[in-house]
């Protein structure tokens, strides 16, 4: 009874759920829950509280938390993510009989439009031909220093992994990191997406095989991103790897110049938009990306619609009015 009484307190309940998720290897969910707990703890502290019972978690209190997030510089999309996660935890508490009602009515949980993540096919081509060593020297890096070669190889590895993700129909970095050698057979990579468990089959094209051969290693993994097969240790290795990956992509972006901004998501978004521009059917793009519905694919492509329409209109008007007198 004492344990259930403790679970009627919000922070204690979330702490328990974090442990439950870790116990079943759902580390991504556990991380989200932990982030919400830390954020909500800071809000409670600002209100002079250590914890709060679900009974006192009213609509007014939830609204106050959201306002506090906004006032402390948390963007709409980020605060919306916190609120959706807290709402999901509240629903769990209801199912476990330690909470009731719904204090989240009227709380903003939408997603505002953000700057599209895709780059152009020309940017991908420029990255493929980028001479990283020359760029480093141009920026004052001394090739005679001991750390030069390690830094160069780290950037080159990131570049190759990014290109591989793009070539593999926009494979996510988490799926790339967990690819096993056993997933490769008969010229195809067959795996299940980490996020949706959707089965994916990708033909290994020549450029992909070249990258695979370049990083041949003795571990069970296709690429030397992870080394441990222990679930918890592999998760820690993945978290470190994606931080380095995104940091290196930021460095590579500066080499490409302009407004190019590479992140771990960009390869995926760029493949989708490039495929769309090449008139691949939505159903094909959906299946290739392992989306569970075409609606998800449409979200990826939504920011492209106006550009496609404007380009089509330009070609149409140019065809009709190319001899129009000035």
Question: Is there a single domain that holds both residue 142 and residue 253?
Answer: yes
Beta bridge partners of 191: 200
Same domain, residue pair 160 and 243:
yes
Q: Is residue 181 part of a domain?
A: yes
| Domain contains 113 | no
Query: Tokens 């095989």 belong to which residue?
Result: 209
**Do 282 and 136 belong together in one domain?**
yes
Instruction: Kindly state the tokens that stand for 278.
Output: 């090449």
Helices 27-46 and 76-95 pack at an angle, to 10 degrees, of 100
Q: Range with the lowest mean pLDDT among 2-16, 109-123, 301-315?
A: 301-315
What's the pTM?
0.68
Question: Would the pLDDT of 243 be above 70?
Answer: yes
> Average pLDDT for residues 117-140, to the nearest whole number?
90
- Same domain for 138 and 173? yes
- Asked if residues 201 and 188 have their Cβ atoms less than 8 Å apart, the reply is yes
Asked if residue 149 and residue 298 are part of one domain, the reply reads yes
- Same domain for 133 and 20, yes or no, is no
Task: Judge if 129 and 267 occupy the same domain.
Answer: yes
Q: Which of 79, 95, 111 is the last residue of a domain?
A: 95
Same domain, 138 and 261: yes
Q: Give the count of domains, the chain.
A: 2
Task: List pLDDT tens digits, range 209-227.
Answer: 999 999 999 999 999 999 9
Residue 274 above 80 pLDDT?
no
Q: Is residue 136 part of a domain?
A: yes
In terms of residue numbers, what domain contains 65?
A: 2-95
In a shared domain, residues 59 and 152: no
Least confident of 53-57, 105-109, 124-128, 195-199: 105-109
More confident site: 262 or 198: 262
Residue 135 sits in the same domain as residue 239: yes
Helix, strand, coil percentages (3-state) for the chain, rounded to 5, are 65, 5, 35
Asked if the structure places residue 15 within a domain, the reply is yes
Q: What is the pLDDT of residues 43-52, one digit of tens each?
A: 999 989 999 9
CATH of the domain at 190: 1.10.443.10
């Amino acid at each position: 009874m004492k344990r259930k009484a403790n679970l009627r307190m919000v922070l204690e309940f979330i702490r328990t759920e974090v442990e439950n998720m870790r116990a079943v290897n759902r580390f991504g969910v556990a991380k989200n829950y932990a982030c919400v707990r830390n954020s909500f703890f800071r809000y409670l502290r600002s209100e002079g509280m250590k914890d709060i019972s679900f009974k006192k978690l009213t609509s007014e209190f939830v609204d106050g938390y959201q306002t506090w997030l906004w006032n402390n510089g948390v963007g709409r999309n980020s605060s919306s993510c916190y609120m959706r996660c807290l709402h999901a935890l509240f629903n769990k508490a209801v199912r476990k009989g330690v909470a009731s009602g719904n204090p989240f009515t009227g709380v903003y949980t939408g997603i505002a439009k953000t700057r599209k993540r895709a780059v152009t096919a020309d940017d991908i081509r420029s990255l493929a031909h980028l001479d990283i060593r020359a760029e480093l020297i141009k920026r004052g890096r001394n090739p005679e220093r001991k750390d030069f070669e390690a830094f160069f190889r780290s950037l080159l590895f990131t570049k190759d992994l990014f290109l591989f993700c793009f070539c593999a129909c926009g494979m996510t970095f988490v799926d790339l990191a967990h690819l096993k050698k056993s997933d490769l057979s008969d010229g195809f990579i067959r795996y299940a997406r980490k996020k949706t468990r959707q089965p994916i089959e990708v033909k290994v094209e020549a450029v992909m095989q070249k990258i695979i051969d370049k990083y041949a290693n003795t571990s069970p993994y296709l690429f030397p991103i992870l080394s441990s097969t222990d679930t918890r240790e592999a998760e820690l290795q993945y978290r470190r790897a994606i931080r380095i990956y995104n940091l290196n992509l930021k460095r590579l972006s500066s080499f490409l110049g302009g407004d190019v901004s590479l992140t771990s998501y960009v390869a995926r978004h760029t493949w989708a938009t490039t495929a769309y521009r090449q008139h691949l059917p939505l159903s094909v793009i959906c299946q290739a990306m392992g989306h569970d519905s075409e609606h998800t694919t449409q979200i990826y492509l939504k920011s492209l619609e106006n550009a496609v329409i404007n380009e089509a209109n330009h070609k149409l008007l140019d065809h009709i009015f190319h001899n129009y007198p000035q």
